[in-house]
Amino acid sequence: MISFLRGTVAHVGLSSAVIDLNGAGMSVNATPQTLSRLRTGEEGKLFTSLIVREDSLTLFGFGSDDEREVFDVLLSVSGVGPRLALAVLAVHEPEAIRVAAHSGDGKAFTKVPGIGPKVAGRIVLELAGKLVPHGTAAGTTAPLASSEAVWKPQVVAAMTSLGWSEKDATASIDKSLADSPELAEKGNVAEILRATLRWLGQDGARAGNRVGARG
């Protein structure tokens, strides 16, 4: 794995740069913010992530190790490729992405070109617990906002982005929390969202069994 590149900046383009490593030019894709820090003819350093495909090897460069870490985690989301992950970093700073993922803020991701409500909802769902703000322990169950007036609209928004109506989302949240009142007290958006989706799956299975029994 190529962890970073350090060398003379040979070229800076709109979406990539070329780093001269003792006569070998390495092309690296990067965000506009990262590219703006490079100067042609001067030494530059980029943290990198190598994406291997059957027909290509592509390097993506970052100004910090934290940016690269967030990029790699974003790639774990189904349907999110390197170009889209890079677009997320072009719009949001790494810490802002961590906060949005940890708090279940799907709207933050819809600000990225190419990401609609459904993809944003999937990102929030799949990143829950994987990205946490600095200073917060991974997998923490500490409350993000215990007031229902704060966390409930965020959970409803995440569910509507996944296809549920606001009315059905609200009803499902209330019913799922009737079985887990401690989650409502904690107010952790990601945990409540996961619990509600689990409850919907179980409820759907029970409904299917009832239909089968009647048949």
DSSP output for 49-71: EEEEETTEEEEEEESSHHHHHHH
Tell the burial category of 138 from Cβ atoms under 10 Å away from its Cβ (0-12, 13-18, 19+). Answer: exposed
Q: Considering only CA atoms, which of 161, 174, 172 is closest in space to residue 200? A: 172
Instruction: Give the single-character DSSP code of 43.
Output: E
Residue 203: predicted pLDDT: 57
Residue 161: predicted pLDDT: 72
Share of the chain above pLDDT 90, in %: 40
Do the Cβ atoms of 86 and 31 come closer than 8 Å? yes
54: tokens are 């059957």
Q: How far is CA 154 from the centre of its chain?
A: 16
- Give CA angle at 72 (151, 96), nearest 5°: 35
Rounded CA-CA distance 162/172 in Å is: 13
Residue 205 has pLDDT above 60, yes or no: no
Share of the chain above pLDDT 70, in %: 86
Do the Cβ atoms of 16 and 27 come closer than 8 Å? yes
Residue 145: predicted pLDDT: 45
Residue 207: predicted pLDDT: 39
Q: pLDDT digit string (tens) for 121-177?
A: 888 888 877 888 886 654 443 344 446 766 777 788 778 777 788 888 888 888 888
Question: What separation in angstroms does the CA of 177 have from each of 153, 170, 173?
Answer: 15, 11, 6
Q: What is the mean pLDDT of residues 99-103?
A: 85
Decide which of 182 and 141 is more confident: 182
Do the Cβ atoms of 142 and 133 come closer than 8 Å? no
Quick one: pLDDT band at residue 120, thresholds 50, 70, 90?
confident
Lowest-confidence pick of 51-55, 93-97, 101-105, 115-119: 101-105
Residue 18 has pLDDT above 70, yes or no: yes
Residue 202 has pLDDT above 80, yes or no: no
Residue 213 has pLDDT above 60, yes or no: no
| Beta pairing, strands 24-29 & 43-53 | unpaired
Residue 147: predicted pLDDT: 61
